[in-house]
Amino acid sequence: MPYDCESDAANIQENLNCAHIGSVVVFLPEIDSTNNLVKTYLANGADEGLVVVAESQTGGRGRMGRVWHSPPEVGVYLSVLLKPPIEPDHLPHLTLLAGVAAVLTVNEFSHPPASLKWPNDVLIHGKKVCGLLCELTQNQGEPSGLIIGIGFNVNHLPDQFPEDLKNTATSLRVINSCLTDRLAVIRSFLMNLDREYQIYLKEGPRPMIEKWGLNTDLFGKKVAITRGPDITTGTAMRLDESGRLVLRRDDGHEETFDSGEVTLRMST
């Protein structure tokens, strides 16, 4: 069922009960990218908590310059504007925090538990059900803010994924063999994000880093981390206090990563 943009926006906004998120909620039938629209609203003075949801995106963007396939009626595509009162070096915490909110949301709708892959992909049975693109806007003379963009694969059937994603993507419908109410997913994510954000602002990163660790099965696994042309192999150990991934390299030394693409290696 498609969104009824006006009444769904009102319904979400009225039933959120959040401290920071949902000050304004906008639903649109189509947009290039919800992250782009939030950036435009930010440049025009939008406040923290703005939420933009789209039925479909014509230019949905993923991490590493990838495209986020965004057809109507099956996925959730939304972006949230935050203005965290923290130093720019601490912003990676918010990326991890958004991942924690996302995995908690997916787990409300899926029985096999979802698992985080660093920094914030959400996987079920090793396939991606949700991805996050967090972008910081910090141009001289413009308002700065953090845009948290998230895409959930909710009601896709297997053949609704493009050929190149068929082996790596899944949806709640594939997992549960039934439809899930997209508005319930949106409400859950916004409330989880708001709660985790409040805890972070009060208590710092430790609770979030602990929750991240409780919702991953990455630690102890053999992985490869790709950063540009460099590939480092080893065993994923833990997140450090800054949220960086600690890898015990195959040569036995530990190295921490603040960015990169993690791929699981078959254990030998």
Q: Using the rule CB under 6 A, which residue among 13, 63, 71, 259 binds ligand BTN?
A: 63
Q: Which stretch binds ligand BTN (CB under 6 A): 10-18, 31-39, 193-201, 256-264?
A: 31-39
Instruction: Judge contact between 53 and 34, C-beta under 8 A.
Output: yes
The tokens describing 41, both together, are: 């609203």
Q: Find the binding residues for ligand BTN in span 181-220 (CB under 6 A).
A: none
Considering the complex, what minimum distance in angstroms separates the CB of residue 252 from ligand BTN? 32
- The Cα 49–Cα 127 span in angstroms is 30
* C-beta of 104 vs 186, nearer to ligand BTN: 186
DSSP E strand stretches across 58-206:
75-82, 115-117, 121-124, 127-137, 145-153
Of 205, 240, 123, nearest in space to 170 by CA? 123
- Residues in the chain, how many? 268
Q: Using the rule CB under 6 A, which residue among 20, 39, 61, 93 binds ligand BTN?
A: 61
- The Cα 33–Cα 233 span in angstroms is 34
Q: Which stretch binds ligand BTN (CB under 6 A): 33-41, 137-145, 165-173, 245-253?
A: 33-41
Considering the complex, what minimum distance in angstroms separates the CB of residue 19 from ligand BTN? 23
68 counts as binding ligand BTN under rule CB under 6 A: yes
Biggest alpha carbon–alpha carbon distance for the chain? 58
- In the complex, the residues that contact ligand BTN under the rule CB under 6 A are 33-35, 57, 60-63, 66, 68, 77-79, 121, 131-133, 149-151
